[in-house]
Amino acid sequence: MSKTIALSGTKNGVISVTEINEPYGKGSGTVASVGISLSGDANNPEWKVHIPLENLDDVIKALEALK
């Protein structure tokens, strides 16, 4: 699964959300990767965070609370 979202307040910026299996080598857990690219290059974001899938529900709840 992969999704690219236009980054509000920028000309070309994007937010990319993707699932990465074994990001830290064989046996490491799957993560949701959220990247920010001001240049619009979703494949090479300037900033990114990896969230273990086991933490995803709590992170979504925290983000919803900010909304």
Q: Which position has the higher pLDDT, 1 or 14?
A: 14
For 53, left (φ over 0), alpha (ψ -120 to 50), or beta? alpha
Please check the confidence at residue 1 and state whether its pLDDT lies above 90. no
Instruction: Provide mean pLDDT across the span 32-58.
Output: 97
Q: Give the max Cα distance, the chain.
A: 39
Q: Which long-range contacts (CB under 8 A, 24 or more apart) does 30-37 make?
A: 32/56, 36/7, 37/7, 37/13
pTM: 0.88
